[in-house]
Chain A
Amino acid sequence: MKYLNKLYKFSKMNITIVLIFIMAGLVIGCGTTPTSIPTPKPTEIGEAVIPSPTPIPVSSPTLIPTLEPIEVEEIVVLLPTPTTMAVMLLVDDSCIDCHTNRERLIATAEEIEDIEELSEGEG
């Protein structure tokens, strides 16, 4: 019984929708006059100016060098030595150590050749 009631309601709704579409079609089809479509006048066509084609740069093919495979036994990555500040530190302790050491200077001094004085008279 319930099933028959649902079927009845569904049929009734469909009929209503169909009627609405029919009414709309009549209103559109009968209520408007046909509109004239404007025809464009023919235009004189001169010589067509055709832009010359822009040359497209073509990059020459890059030669990719062929590298011989190198056998690497051990890969060493050199990293920059860390510096604390951009100041040149002049380490010359060795200079002052030696040049204040009399004994060492005497020991390492080269003998000065006695050059015969050739000049005569007062300069």
Chain B
Amino acid sequence: MEGWEKVIVSDKSFTQTVHGKMGCVTCHGGNGKVDDKEQAHTYIIREPVAEDVCFQCHVDMTNETNSLHSSLRGYTTVLQDRTSAETLAHIEEEAFGNHCSSCHTSCGQCHVSRPTSLGGGLTAGHKFKKVPPMNLTCTGCHGSRVDMEYKGKNEGIPADLHWNKIGMPCFNCHTADEMHGNLDYEANHRYDGSASKSCLDCHNDVIEGSEIAQHQQHISEFSCQVCHAAEYKNCYSCHTQKNDEDIPYFKIEPSIMDIKIGYNPIQSEERPWKWVVLRHVPVDPDTFAYYGDNLLPNFDNRPTWTYATPHTIQRNTARTESCDSCHGNTDLFLTEDDLLPYEIKANKDVVVDKSDIPYNQ
């Protein structure tokens, strides 16, 4: 977007809307009485603070502190596991701000504009969109994995059935309450608590009355994705750093499309399955090495192959073709042979014992 495109208000009828009637300076500050650009923008607030503005009216709409999009606690949760108190503080001092916190999202960055991490810009001439435009907000940030997988942008991998067949938007599964943190539990990670919507909420015929024998045989031990996800993206070796002009950047190895079945690292009442698909996340013992030595001293506390819900769902996959697609297929399961030397300990709970891989039928 050009600079002017980002800030153009569609037309003056905006002033007659509920938000428009409040006047620009109420939320954005500045001086609305002068024509001079510099003077008008004195003390301008580009992104109004939710507590000062939005929450004055939308009192019960959002529990911002429990919204992962706002709190970024998903990041701190995994960092806490892999760091010590001292090294976490060191990371939070600079590296976190340089490489992680830009993913923060506020009310306006979904309902009015594109997220700042994408360069910002009004999405609909400053109209407030009750349902944010998915392609400019959700997949604007969640692009390389979710967007490319869901819409079939990875070469040779079809789009997710839910997109391909019926064009389901993100919000059909990821509810406003989930986004806004209005949950009956404290959200420290995206897989805390029960899913907003699970597969069985819609496909409840799979449990009872299914004509497919494998559903009856496997549904209690397998997550749906084990059979119905197509290949998904796995990332490796992210390294953060800054250039000579103090501009932060990262380098990451080319991603790999693959499927690996392993043990469920977060087995619980909500996610009871023994077998799930696992995705490799790009963390590396030296991810923050630029900022100091051994900043992830407890790297082994979390697996690098993590619980995943890929957005590549298909009715038919290679695994649904026959029993032997899985039974006896050691390549499909995550074994120690798949691990890099530095991550063997970290993945000890999810890597599959070869003796546990089912035999050919």
Residues of A that sit less than 8 Å from B by CB: 90-100, 102, 105-106, 108-112, 115, 118-123
Residue of B whose beta carbon sits closest to that of A122:
B144
Q: How far is the CA of A106 from the CA of B254 in the complex (A)?
A: 39
Please give the distance in Å from B280's CB to the nearest CB on chain A: 13
Judging by beta carbons under 8 Å apart, are B252 and A123 in contact?
A: yes
Judging by beta carbons under 8 Å apart, are A99 and B7 in contact?
A: yes
* Best-surrounded residue of B2, B4, B7, B28 (most CB of chain A within 10 A): B4
* Best-surrounded residue of A90, A95, A120 (most CB of chain B within 10 A): A95
Judging by beta carbons under 8 Å apart, are A90 and B25 in contact?
A: yes
Judging by beta carbons under 8 Å apart, are A90 and B22 in contact?
A: yes
- Stretch from B33-41, B62-70, B164-172 at the A interface: B33-41
* Best-surrounded residue of A97, A105, A121 (most CB of chain B within 10 A): A121
Q: How far is the CA of A109 from the CA of B7 in the complex (A)?
A: 10
Q: How far is the CA of A49 from the CA of B223 in the complex (A)?
A: 103
Kindly list chain A residues whose C-beta atoms are within 8 Å of the C-beta of B126: 99
- Apart from A90-B22, A95-B25, A100-B10, what 16 extra A-B contacts exist at CB < 8 Å? A90-B24, A91-B23, A94-B34, A95-B24, A95-B28, A96-B9, A96-B24, A99-B7, A100-B12, A109-B2, A109-B4, A118-B243, A121-B251, A122-B233, A122-B235, A122-B255
Judging by beta carbons under 8 Å apart, are A92 and B23 in contact?
A: yes
Judging by beta carbons under 8 Å apart, are A118 and B30 in contact?
A: no
Q: How far is the CA of A108 from the CA of B9 in the complex (A)?
A: 15
Q: How far is the CA of A46 from the CA of B9 in the complex (A)?
A: 101
Judging by beta carbons under 8 Å apart, are A108 and B22 in contact?
A: no
Kindly list chain A residues whose C-beta atoms are within 8 Å of the C-beta of B269: none
Interface set, chain B 2-44, CB cutoff 8 A to A: 2-4, 7-12, 14-15, 22-26, 28, 30-35, 37, 40
Q: Is the C-beta of B290 less than 8 angstroms from some C-beta in chain A?
A: no
Judging by beta carbons under 8 Å apart, are B32 and A105 in contact?
A: no
Q: How far is the CA of A97 from the CA of B238 in the complex (A)?
A: 47
Complex partner residue of A93 from B8, B32, B238, B251, CB under 8 angstroms: B32
Kindly list chain A residues whose C-beta atoms are within 8 Å of the C-beta of B15: 96
Q: How far is the CA of A90 from the CA of B126 in the complex (A)?
A: 18
A91/B4 contact (C-beta < 8 A), A96-B14, A121-B253 known: no
Kindly list chain B residues whose C-beta atoms are within 8 Å of the C-beta of A118: 243, 247, 249
Complex partner residue of B8 from A90, A91, A105, A119, CB under 8 angstroms: A105
Judging by beta carbons under 8 Å apart, are A94 and B33 in contact?
A: yes
Please give the distance in Å from B112's CB to the nearest CB on chain A: 13
Q: Is the C-beta of B250 less than 8 angstroms from some C-beta in chain A?
A: yes
Judging by beta carbons under 8 Å apart, are A95 and B30 in contact?
A: yes
Judging by beta carbons under 8 Å apart, are B3 and A109 in contact?
A: yes
Interface set, chain B 264-306, CB cutoff 8 A to A: none
Kindly list chain B residues whose C-beta atoms are within 8 Å of the C-beta of A90: 22-26, 32
Please give the distance in Å from A48's CB to the nearest CB on chain B: 76
Q: How far is the CA of A106 from the CA of B216 in the complex (A)?
A: 63
Complex partner residue of A105 from B7, B11, B233, CB under 8 angstroms: B7
Residue of B whose beta carbon sits closest to that of A121:
B252
Kindly list chain B residues whose C-beta atoms are within 8 Å of the C-beta of A92: 23-25, 30, 32-33
A100/B4 contact (C-beta < 8 A), A95-B25, A108-B37, A122-B235 known: no
Q: How far is the CA of A57 from the CA of B255 in the complex (A)?
A: 90
Q: Which 4 A-B pairs have the closest CB atoms?
A: A92-B32, A90-B23, A121-B252, A118-B249
Q: How far is the CA of A43 from the CA of B359 in the complex (A)?
A: 131
Please give the distance in Å from B235's CB to the nearest CB on chain A: 7
Judging by beta carbons under 8 Å apart, are B250 and A111 in contact?
A: no
Judging by beta carbons under 8 Å apart, are B249 and A100 in contact?
A: no
Interface set, chain B 173-218, CB cutoff 8 A to A: none
28 example contacts (A-B, Cβ-Cβ < 8 A) are as follows A90-B32, A92-B23, A93-B33, A94-B34, A94-B35, A95-B24, A95-B28, A96-B24, A98-B35, A98-B37, A99-B8, A99-B9, A100-B8, A100-B9, A100-B10, A110-B3, A111-B3, A112-B2, A118-B243, A120-B250, A120-B252, A121-B250, A121-B251, A121-B252, A121-B254, A122-B144, A122-B235, A122-B255
Residue of B whose beta carbon sits closest to that of A90:
B23
Q: How far is the CA of A95 from the CA of B251 in the complex (A)?
A: 42
Judging by beta carbons under 8 Å apart, are B250 and A119 in contact?
A: yes
Q: How far is the CA of A40 from the CA of B3 in the complex (A)?
A: 114
Please give the distance in Å from B48's CB to the nearest CB on chain A: 14
Q: How far is the CA of A106 from the CA of B9 in the complex (A)?
A: 13
Kindly list chain A residues whose C-beta atoms are within 8 Å of the C-beta of B250: 119-121, 123
